Every structure is written in C-alpha cells, then in structure tokens.
Structure 1
Amino acid sequence: MLSYVFMKILESRPARYDRGINILTGGHANKVKNEIIATLVKPDIRVLDVGCGTGQLLAQAARLGAKVTGIDISEGMLTIARKRFESGDLKRKGTFYQAGVTELDTFFADDSFDLITATLVFSELHRVQRHWALREFTRILKPSGVLVLADEVRPRKRLKRIIHFLVRFPLAVITYLLSQITTNAIPDMAKELLGAGFEVFHEKRSLLGSFAVVFARKHARLDSINASVDTFLLPEDDISALKTIWDFIGRWFPNPVEPGLRKIGNAGTHSPVFITGNFHLTVRRVEKALFGTDSWLLVAPTQGINVWCASSGGEMTEHSIISAMKTSSLEDRVVYRNLILPQLCAPGVNRKVLEDLTGWKVDFGPVYARDLSNFVQHNNEKSSEQCIVHYPLSFRLEMLFCMNALVWLTIAIIASFVNMWWVALGTVLFWGAGLILYAGFPYLPGSSGWWKAALLSIFAVFGITLFTAYVHNLPWWTHWEWIFVAVVLTLWLGFDLKGIVGGNLSEAESLMHKLGVKS
C-alpha cells in the first residue's frame, strides 16, 4: 500500500524512483516486471509501457530483442529513461514520448503492439479516463496481443477493505501534505476491462488483495462490446452535502469531482465552452456563476485541486485539458471551436501549444467566475479590473477558517486528554492569533508570513509573562508551557500565510521546493 501513497513523492526525485518503489512494495514491483519479461517478452515483439517511468522494464525487454516504446507525463522520468538508451547495448533501441495516457491516439496506429503494460497508472485516472484509455488499448493492441495492468484495487472481502482503508488513509493524508497528490483504488478492474472489450485470462492479488496484476486479451467478439459511456453531466447530478462541508473545513486537502463535460442550461452546438479544474468548490461556484447562460463546462482532471494551485503544481496543463476534451467527446457536441480558460491557469497552460494541438481557439477568461457572463456578453473581452486577483477581508476570513478548522480540531482533541482548560485557552490563542494574522495581513509589518507571525508571538509572550507577573504575582516563567504553545501556534499560522492570503511563495512552499516536492 505504501507504493500508492508515496509514489508521487518518489516521482519528484526520479533518480530514486525505481529503488524506492521496489522497497515500498516489498519487492512486488520487480516481481511483476520480472514475470512480464520471463513469460511475455520475445525477440522482435513490439512493447508499449504506459507510464514507463525511468524505463527499467523497457530496458530489460530491449535486451531480449523487443522493440520498445515508452510514454510518460513526467519529463524528469523520461530524461532518465532516455539516458538508459543512449549508449551500450541499448543505444537507439527505445522510443519515448512525453504525453498523458489520453494522448495515445496522437502517436500510434491500429494494431501496433504485441504487449502493452501499465503499472500504477490507472489508479491516478478517473472512470472516464480509464474507459477511454482501455478503448485505445483495444485499438492499438494486435489481435493476439496481451495487456498487463498492475495497480491498486479495492479488496474484494469486507474485512480486507476495512484494514486497507485504515492503513491507507493516514498514509494518504501524509502524502498529500507533502506532495499535494492522491490516488484512488480501482473498484473492479476486471469489469472495466470487460466493458472495454477485453477478457481477463489471469489475475493475481497481493497486499491484502489491494494490489492486482491482471493479464488480458482482446475479446473475440469485440464488435459486440458496448463501448458507450456517459459523456456529460448536469449540475445536479453529483451534488454532495459531504463534499460541500469538506470545502469549508478541509481546504488543505483535495476534494475532487468526476472530470468531464457538464451541460449548463440548454447548451447546444454553438454554446461557449468554459474550462475549470475538478476541485469541488470551484466547479460548484462556476456552475452557479453560469446559471442562466447556456454553455458547456469542461472539468479537467486536476487531482481535486483548485485551478491556481493545480496549474502552478503541474496538474492543470495542456495535457489535462486535452484529456478532458477527448474523454468527454466534446468535439462531437460543439461546432463553435473556442475554449475559455480561467485566467489563473495561465502558469501551467501554454495557450499557443493548446491551440496547435487541438485546432481550437483559446481565450483566457476573467479571474473570478462571477464575471463569466459579462465576459461572454462582451464577445470574450475583459476589463483590466477583471484580470486582477483581490484578497478582501471576507476572503481572508474565509481562508482562516477553511485552512485551519481541522488543525484546531486536532489540537483541541489532543488537549482535551490533558485538561479542558487547555482546550479553552488554546482555542482563544489559536483563533485570536489567526484573526490578527489573516485579517491584519496587509497592515502588519514585514513581507514574510513568518516575520509577521514572529512579531505577533513576541507580543503574545510579553502578554503572558506580564499577566503571570502582575496579575498572578508569580515568576514570569511560571507558565512557560503557555509561552511555548503561543509561539508554536502563531508560527504555524504564519508558515503558509503569505501563500494563502498574499498570493506569493510562502515559507511552507519554499521548504517543499527545497525538498524537491511540487506544490
């Protein structure tokens, strides 16, 4: 299980990826590769490894005489993979493409490969993406070819599912805090394969049934397989009270909705197409802003992260938008070829590249969803004011609660085992310091969030010591534990403050970048 939740951390350090994944899977990663090499790889067969990483499997296959091709979204991984094939017995024996799984149709013709493999890839994809990818596999795999998928799956037995959840959940939380990424266990891999035109002839499970290696061939009656999949949703189709609550207490964590196409009003072939990420709060607010405007809303897969963070962290790119366009069959529904992107996705999306790859005209819309209708009414023109990000008091107070509610709850629960007085005093210190820092951010001296917090903690220390000495008539250091708590809580609140309400790189993000982790 560790491999799934720590995989993204390892991906930020490609040179250590193979060794790290093998250690974390207890050797299962290498066992899967060795079994594939021993049983399926023969001279002159054509092999495609989807999500090839550093190319370890392809290097082994190439040494046996196979003609190998790799595809991966990570530039760092592919740099190492290509180096493997630059010299020695592997020189010029491998072909690599940097692309997402839903861009397979760009590179490969029908019946191109004898063997297709994908390890720890499908658990990163949503249902419609997996379906699209599997349909592509049926197209590019030869009639006698074999597909091998190795990935995280949902255990079949209830007890194992419970154990799997209890072990996985805290690890997933830790991983997200470090890498801002999570994965999802596949509910029923065999069923999805069957629905896409494959028949499973061998399956092995390990790690409490949560890791499956599935071997499949194209179904003999492929033409009779139902290839349909829902291609759009209505705003009311996936309303979730739980996700809405999570929007306001768990803003630290991803809150994804199913990516794909949403129909707003009576959208038709000439209606505008807006793009956003699959963060629940963003989707709900954009849908609300577009109410009364007949339009299409295309939700790109961004790991359940908001647009700005996703684009800065490499999750909202041309690849993710193209992926959503393909899996939703957007081109079959819209004649008016114009995409309207959120202004805040500009750090991660190259407009010219997207236009060249899709043939669509691309415009950046306003910063705020509330201005979308006005933007359309003015022929996709926006004012200079609509290009500016603002941090009003209402927003800063919202972020104070959303970003810190779970932190406070955790502290309160721990403190309750010590003394309820600690809970009360800790609550006053925590929210009091938070209110001063968030509400007063533009006015407090210093540009650093930590500097502002440090100044506030000094005042807190003075306040506690003066209260102890002159009200309680005790030595000033008597309540040293409260001095310590006040300093720690205040500095914690300032750690990511500059990024949350200042729109700049915070101390937290700087630390993550130094550790080699995207944010």
Structure 2
Amino acid sequence: NVWCAAGKGTFSTDEIVRQIENANLKSLVAHREIILPQLGAPGVASHEVRKRTGFRIIYGPIYARDIQAFLASGKKATHEMRRVRFNLRDRIVLIPMELIPALKWLPVAIGLILLMRLADGSGINTGMLGDLISYMGAVAIGTIIVQILLPWIPGRSFVWKGWLLGMIWALSLASWLKPNLWVLISNVLVLPVIAAYLALNFTGSTTFTSLSGVQREIRLAAPAMIASAGVGILVRMASRLWV
C-alpha cells in the first residue's frame, strides 16, 4: 500500500520524478499539477518534485472512492476526506496480505518439523499433526488474530502483541496436546517468536506506525527472537540426549 511504500522509501521523491520523466508528462498535459495520495506524503518532498520537474504536488483524499468528489470540489478535500480510519473491517481486509506470504513458508516448516522429529526420536507418524497444528496456530495468531484484536491486546509493540498471544497459544497446547517436557519448552521458545515476527510484519499495513519506530522495534527484538527460536529448535532436536 501507499503508506507502506512511502515509509520504506519506494514511493519517494526520486520515484515520482523518474516516472514523470519516463512518461514525458510535460508533453502529454498542458497543466503542471500532479495529484498524489495523501498517505504518500511521508515519502515525498513536494518542493523538490516541483523544483526538478515543474509539477506542483497536490495531495488528494485518503480513499480512492473520494477522488471524483475531490476533483468536483476544485481539488479541495473535506475533513472526512482527510480522516484515516483503521477499524475492524479495514484490518480484516488486510489479512490475506499477511497470511498468503506466510503460507509460502509452510514447506520449509514441514521440513524443519520432520528434521526435529527425526532428531528427537519421535519419528514420522501421526504425532506430526500436533506439531503442524502448533505451527499453523502460531501463524494464524500472527497473521489473523493479532490483526483482529489489535486495539485490545495490551502494549504498543507489535512484537509484544504477537509474542503475548503466541505464548498463550504455546501454553494452551500443554493441556490440549500434552507434549513431553522438551517439546513444551521448545514450543514456548519457538511459537511466540513465529507469532511475534508475523505480527511485526503487519506494521507495514497500518496507518499509524513510523519507519523509525519499526526499525527501533526490530533492533530491540530481533536478537532475542533469533536466540529464542534457535535455542527452542536445539532443545527439541537434542531432547533425546536427556531422556
């Protein structure tokens, strides 16, 4: 989306200038105005675009459905056109954007589950279903549940929100699937990290997170997440040594 692209620098001053020049826009239109989506503003220096191309930037409404009304009013936006909403419906619409890329890692996850089960002596049997349910539950938390419950999960950090629900999920598996101690420890170390990582990805789809804030969250959380997941996998693979 535009907000994400602007924050990451791909919807930027240089990109706008490049597209204007590539399209040879000056020869196609008589005016010297270009309308950009309002949420693209963080990535664009309008004065720089005008200096380099001669085109004046006008920021349009938040939602595409308001473009016709915006043009009809002489390119003047009402308060409602400038108002950003991020309600439950908006968040649910974004779920496929988070879920589908995550599912692409399913073959890798299955391979890792097989490797861990062979290493800990569990073998390839129906018990794999429990491991797969555990993994898919963490994925669902990070790509669906966090998005739905976002305003009501305690804390501001997306990593924390995902980790918290992931930990609840990992602990709930103890009474449901009744794993042995080492599998439980592995689940507690790995599953919250999966949920936290996927929840962190959702920052790019929101309308209120900043690039600097997300980068800070990554710097603080990434080492702990990597360490936790790594130890969890090693515990599972080496568990037969302690049984």
TM-score (norm. length: structure 2): 0.69
* Aligned ranges 1:145-160 → 2 under 5 Å: none
Matched, 1:510 2:216: yes
Do 1:316 and 1:345's aligned partners in 2 also have CA atoms closer than 8 Å?
Answer: yes
Deviations 1:87-118 (A, max 9, x none): xxxxxxxxxxxxxxxxxxxxxxxxxxxxxxxx
Q: CA deviation at 1:364?
A: 0.8
Return the match for 1:359 from 32, 48, 54: 54
Q: CA deviation at 1:402?
A: 1.5
* Aligned ranges 1:318-333 → 2 under 5 Å: 318-333=13-28
Query: What one-letter code is carried by the residue in structure 1 that aligns with 2:85?
Result: H
Matched, 1:488 2:197: no
Q: Secondary structure at the match of 1:363?
A: strand
Change (3 A) 1:444 1:502: farther
Query: What one-letter code is carried by the residue in structure 2 that aligns with 1:312?
Result: G
Change (3 A) 1:364 1:353: same
Query: What one-letter code is carried by the residue in structure 1 that aligns with 2:46?
Result: R
Matched, 1:462 2:167: no
If you compute each CA radius of gyration, which structure gives the higher value, 1 or 2? Answer: 1
Deviations 1:297-322 (A, max 9, x none): xxxxxxxxx43333333333333323
User: Identity over the aligned pairs, expressed in percent?
Assistant: 23
Do 1:412 and 1:427's aligned partners in 2 also have CA atoms closer than 8 Å?
Answer: no
CA distance in 2, matches of 1:449, 1:403: 14
Q: CA deviation at 1:467?
A: 3.3
Equivalent position of 1:349 in the other structure: 44
CA distance in 2, matches of 1:475, 1:508: 37
Equivalent position of 2:32 in the other structure: 337
Equivalent position of 1:282 in the other structure: none
- Alpha-carbon RMSD across the aligned residues, in angstroms, is 3.0
Do 2:11 and 2:44's aligned partners in 1 also have CA atoms closer than 8 Å?
Answer: yes
Q: CA deviation at 1:478?
A: 5.5
Equivalent position of 1:145 in the other structure: none
Equivalent position of 1:177 in the other structure: none
Change (3 A) 1:340 1:407: same
CA distance in 2, matches of 1:358, 1:427: 50
Do 1:339 and 1:360's aligned partners in 2 also have CA atoms closer than 8 Å?
Answer: yes
Change (3 A) 1:336 1:485: same
CA distance in 2, matches of 1:314, 1:406: 21
CA distance in 2, matches of 1:494, 1:439: 11
Query: What one-letter code is carried by the residue in structure 1 that aligns with 2:162?
Result: A
Deviations 1:260-302 (A, max 9, x none): xxxxxxxxxxxxxxxxxxxxxxxxxxxxxxxxxxxxxxxxxxx
* Aligned ranges 1:240-255 → 2 under 5 Å: none
Matched, 1:442 2:141: no
Change (3 A) 1:383 1:428: same
CA distance in 1, matches of 2:16, 2:133: 48
CA distance in 1, matches of 2:8, 2:65: 25
Q: CA deviation at 1:354?
A: 2.7
Q: Secondary structure at the match of 1:442?
A: helix
Task: Pick 1 or 2: higher relative contact order, CA cutoff 8 A, min separation 6.
Answer: 2
Matched, 1:501 2:206: yes
CA distance in 2, matches of 1:338, 1:438: 37
Query: What one-letter code is carried by the residue in structure 1 that aligns with 2:215?
Result: E
Q: CA deviation at 1:457?
A: 2.8
CA distance in 1, matches of 2:195, 2:12: 36
Change (3 A) 1:481 1:408: farther
CA distance in 2, matches of 1:323, 1:475: 59
Change (3 A) 1:433 1:407: closer
Flag the structure with higher helix content.
2
Query: What one-letter code is carried by the residue in structure 2 that aligns with 1:510?
Result: R
Do 1:355 and 1:362's aligned partners in 2 also have CA atoms closer than 8 Å?
Answer: yes
Change (3 A) 1:451 1:478: closer
Q: CA deviation at 1:381?
A: 0.8
Do 1:375 and 1:381's aligned partners in 2 also have CA atoms closer than 8 Å?
Answer: yes
Deviations 1:11-49 (A, max 9, x none): xxxxxxxxxxxxxxxxxxxxxxxxxxxxxxxxxxxxxxx
Q: Secondary structure at the match of 2:74?
A: coil
Q: Secondary structure at the match of 2:104?
A: helix
Deviations 1:55-96 (A, max 9, x none): xxxxxxxxxxxxxxxxxxxxxxxxxxxxxxxxxxxxxxxxxx
